[in-house]
Every structure is written in structure tokens, then in C-alpha cells.
Amino acid sequence: MTSVLDLAPVVPVVVVDDPSDAVPLARALVAGGLRAIEVTLRTPGALDAIRAVADAVPEAVVGAGTVLTPEQVTRSVEAGARFLVSPGWTDSLLDAMRASGVPYLPGVSTASEVLALLERGVRELKFFPAEAAGGTAYLKSLYGPLPQARFCPTGGIGPGSAPDYLALPNVACVGGSWMLPADAVAARDWARVEALAREAAGLGRSAAQV
């Protein structure tokens, strides 16, 4: 099975206020080349949005983000989430994600947290909050002693900084929401979202040339 980290250089982090927007939004992102879509569980309609995308946009790989509890793991997978992302982890949350049967990215921000997960056989991680926790310099420092860990940094990353992250050997992709500006989503300007998604999808190629 292809890793979530390898589906696209950028994983859109989506906050859905109106579940009716989920399907056209997901179609715009996929058309722009971003197949992996993280719908955060920050709004009441998030699970409905995941369910709608899973049913209507099969070419998308929809996942649940901001997963905080074992119950949310269960409900997300039942709704059709194909991967799970958490901002951090606890033993009970990690056990639930492991038992879910879908890929998961537990969040870390320190070397000790990375070591603890490596001990448990987890090598694909979310680095959060990326910019506040040390950014590219911190991840570069982690690579020397912990080269087996692969990261999806998220938090404060935009189109200007994303290539710097993607150029690092231990970064497979980044998470961000800059391709979903609030005014475009409010206006349901899906053509603009698609165009921004296409630009984001091209960042991986530009990073490879750095």
C-alpha cells in the first residue's frame, strides 16, 4: 500500500464549516493534483464532510485530522477516513490508531517523542507545530541521529517555506491550508482552489531541484 506521505508533496488541511462544500472542494483539490485531503475534526460537520467525500470522490484519499481520542478514531474510520492525523499522541490514542487498520500520523515536536514512537515501530510522523517547534533547522538536526523517521510538517507553512521543508531528506510532504483561502471557500470559487492546488502540487518538483 502506498504511504499517505507519498501521495502528493502537499496535504491540504481542511476545516469544513458547511458539509455541502466538501465534495466540490475535494474535487477541486484532486483536479489540481492533491489527492490526500485531511479534514480536521474541528467543526460539527467534519464527519459528514468525510463521509460525503469518501462516497462521492473516490479518487480522493480523505483522512481525518485533529484526532484526539480513541472514540474519534472509531467514528472517523466509520465515516470513511482512509488515514488519521493527530497533533500529538498518548498511549491509548496510539493503540486505537494502530488497531484502526488505516495509516496514521501521530504528531511529535521533540526528539524524545520521536524516539518513543520509533520504539513502537512508528516511523511516519507529523511534525507539529512545525514553524513554532523549530522549523527546517530542527528537522535537519533530527536527521543525523534519527534518519529512519519520516515527517509531514504542518503548522505555519506556506508556499514560500514549503520548498525548504520538502528539500530535507526526512520530509516526505508538508501539510497546509494556503490553497484554501477563506474568501475563495466562502465564495465557492473552486476554480481558484484548483489553481492554487495545482501550484502546490508542483512544489515537490521545485524542491527536488534545490
- Positions marked catalytic: 38, 126
| CB-count burial class (<10 Å; 0-12, 13-18, 19+) for 133 | middle
One-letter amino acid of 3:
S
**Sign of the dihedral through C-alpha 48, 83, 93, 14:** negative
Torsion, Cα 86 89 91 95, to 10 degrees, reads: 20
Q: Which residues pair with 154 in a beta bridge?
A: 175
Cα distances from 165 to residues 12, 18, 149, 174, 195, in angstroms, run: 15, 32, 15, 7, 22
Q: And the C-alpha cell for 46? A: 467534519
Phi, psi of 153 (to 5 degrees): -70, 140
